[in-house]
Structure 1
Amino acid sequence: MKSTLDQIEDIKKNGYTIDFGSTFNYAFENYKKIALYSGLIILIFSVIMAVLAMGLAVTFYGVAAISKDFILNLENHKLSYLEQLLSIGAVSLFAALLAPFGAGFLKMADSADKDEEFNVSTMFTYYKAPYFAQLFIMALIIGLVSNAISAVIESFGIILLGNAISIFISFFTFIAIPLVVFGNLNAVDAIKGSIIVVTKNPLLIFALFITGIIGSVVGIFGCCIGVLFTIVFNTSVTYATYYSIFTEEEQIDVIDSIGQSDLE
């Protein structure tokens, strides 16, 4: 069996094909297995984060921090260049620290796919070596690049373009996390590998990428809290896309090796 890097090299040379319908069905079946449990985890985590954020705000700014006027003034406050740099660094660092937690949903999806038991501890699987360092570095790189570019563009008043750039970067790093946790790649190789895979079949991957996003937010239309139970759909799409690509590559390798053996 070829390594993930070898498979990526083959994809770079020869491309690959996957079927949208089968990949979507794969993702949907996986999502049904993890939707309820993951939704409850997200709900609990959101409440904890909201309480912590409110506590920190009150600690630093006093009780006035929870007032509507304070929030409006904070939103209208124009950041200096130094404050913008600190903000970019802080947001990117926070995202990097949460990256292994987000990857935990992929582990949950993998366990469900293999009919293995999963629980709350599954969410913290990747807060250990060698995964934590690579996920942290990868998320920090992507966060710094994405937030910095968006901040520069938005400083000219082009907010929509800044948001588009962030989505664009997310698209090209669509399968970077599974390449780390399932493909055992380091942060830089995972980012480069994701870009190679996406650029070899951009329209189909974009269709899956957008489907994952739409499926994740659809819960907000029925009941706002419903989004907590649909947001993980994007994880299932990412998981299904990764395995549809790389499982197929492995199957091709096996068929080729059998053919070579028969010839010998």
Structure 2
Amino acid sequence: MKSTLDQIEDIKNNGYFLDFSTVFNHAFENYKKIALYAGLILLVFSILAFFLGGGLLVSLYGVQHFNEEFLKNLQNEQTSTSVLAIYSVVIAFFAALFSPFTAGFLKMAYCADRDEEFKFSTVFTYYTSRHFGQLFISTLLISLVSGFISVLFNMVGIILVDTFIALAITIFTSLAIPLIIFGDLNAIDAIKSSIIIVSKQPFTIILLLFVAGIGSAIGLIGCCIGVAFTIPITYSVKYALYSAILNIEEENSIDSIGSDSE
């Protein structure tokens, strides 16, 4: 079997075929297998994050400050460039810290696709894996680039362009995490390879990710709690995309499964 980098080189030179309906049907069938389990995990952690975040804000500002006037002042306050830069660094760090959590859902999709057992601890697989460092670095780099581009455009007062650039970065690097955990690439190679892959079939991949985003947003209808059970469709689409384009090497899979039992 060709290495991941060899496959990427072939894609760079010759491109690849990608059928929207095949990938989406694969993703949807896989989603049905993980929706309940992944949704419950996301719901529990969302509730915990809400209370922890609320508790942190109350401890910093005091509960007496959270009134209508405070919220209006917060909304109207003009944030300085230095503060925006600090926010970008902090957000990038937290995004990087949670990247193995995201990778865990992709591992769950992998197990479901092969009818292998997965459990609650599956989402934490890559916190103890050798891939943790590369996951952290890749997400940190992507988030920092996106964040500082946002700061630059905010400095010149062009927010709409900033939004499109941030969205483009997200799309073109969307396969970086699966390339690390399934392709065994380092952070830089994973980012570059993701850009190469997406650039060869941008419209099909954008359409797949767009439909996945719409599917995730359906959970907002009626009761916002439902979004926890629709978000996993995005993980299923990314996994289905990767498996449709590249071979998942068994040795990498066995390595990641072995880290579950550690």
TM-score (norm 2): 0.90
Aligned to 2:112: 112
Measure how far apart 1:64 and its partner are.
Answer: 3.1
1:233-254: CA deviation from partner (whole Å, max 9, x where unpaired):
11100000000011399xxxxx
Aligned to 2:188: 188
CA contact 1:175–1:194 (8 Å) conserved in 2: yes
Aligned to 1:161: 161
1:138-187: CA deviation from partner (whole Å, max 9, x where unpaired):
01000001111122223333333222211110110121110001001011
Measure how far apart 1:72 and its partner are.
Answer: 3.2
Letter in 2 for 1:188: I
For residues 213 and 96 of structure 1, the distance between their equivalents in structure 2, rounded to whole angstroms, comes to 21
Letter in 2 for 1:159: I
Aligned to 2:229: 229
Letter in 1 for 2:7: Q
Aligned to 1:175: 175
State the structure with more CA Rg.
Answer: 1
Measure how far apart 1:222 and its partner are.
Answer: 4.2
Measure how far apart 1:223 and its partner are.
Answer: 3.1
Aligned to 1:258: none
1:201-252: CA deviation from partner (whole Å, max 9, x where unpaired):
1121121121221111122134322211111111100000000011399xxx
Measure how far apart 1:18 and its partner are.
Answer: 1.7
Measure how far apart 1:65 and its partner are.
Answer: 4.9
For residues 221 and 55 of structure 2, the distance between their equivalents in structure 1, rounded to whole angstroms, comes to 30
- Which consecutive unaligned segments of at least 5 residues does structure 1 have? 250-264
- CA gap 1:72/1:126 in 2 versus in 1, 3 angstroms: farther
- CA gap 1:124/1:66 in 2 versus in 1, 3 angstroms: farther
Aligned to 2:253: none
CA contact 1:106–1:239 (8 Å) conserved in 2: yes
Letter in 2 for 1:214: I
For residues 45 and 69 of structure 1, the distance between their equivalents in structure 2, rounded to whole angstroms, comes to 30
For residues 72 and 46 of structure 2, the distance between their equivalents in structure 1, rounded to whole angstroms, comes to 22
For residues 65 and 181 of structure 1, the distance between their equivalents in structure 2, rounded to whole angstroms, comes to 45
SS in structure 2 of the partner of residue 126 of structure 1: helix
For residues 207 and 149 of structure 2, the distance between their equivalents in structure 1, rounded to whole angstroms, comes to 25
For residues 157 and 80 of structure 2, the distance between their equivalents in structure 1, rounded to whole angstroms, comes to 15
CA contact 2:183–2:248 (8 Å) conserved in 1: no
Aligned to 2:123: 123
Aligned-pair identity in percent equals 54
CA contact 1:18–1:245 (8 Å) conserved in 2: yes
Between 61-70 and 18-27, the greater mean CA deviation after superposition: 61-70
For residues 35 and 246 of structure 1, the distance between their equivalents in structure 2, rounded to whole angstroms, comes to 24
Measure how far apart 1:24 and its partner are.
Answer: 0.5
Measure how far apart 1:86 and its partner are.
Answer: 1.0
For residues 80 and 150 of structure 1, the distance between their equivalents in structure 2, rounded to whole angstroms, comes to 13
Aligned to 1:137: 137
- Which consecutive unaligned segments of at least 5 residues does structure 2 have? 250-262
TM-score (norm 1): 0.89
Letter in 1 for 2:109: A
For residues 231 and 151 of structure 2, the distance between their equivalents in structure 1, rounded to whole angstroms, comes to 26
Between 190-199 and 208-217, the greater mean CA deviation after superposition: 208-217
CA contact 2:18–2:201 (8 Å) conserved in 1: no
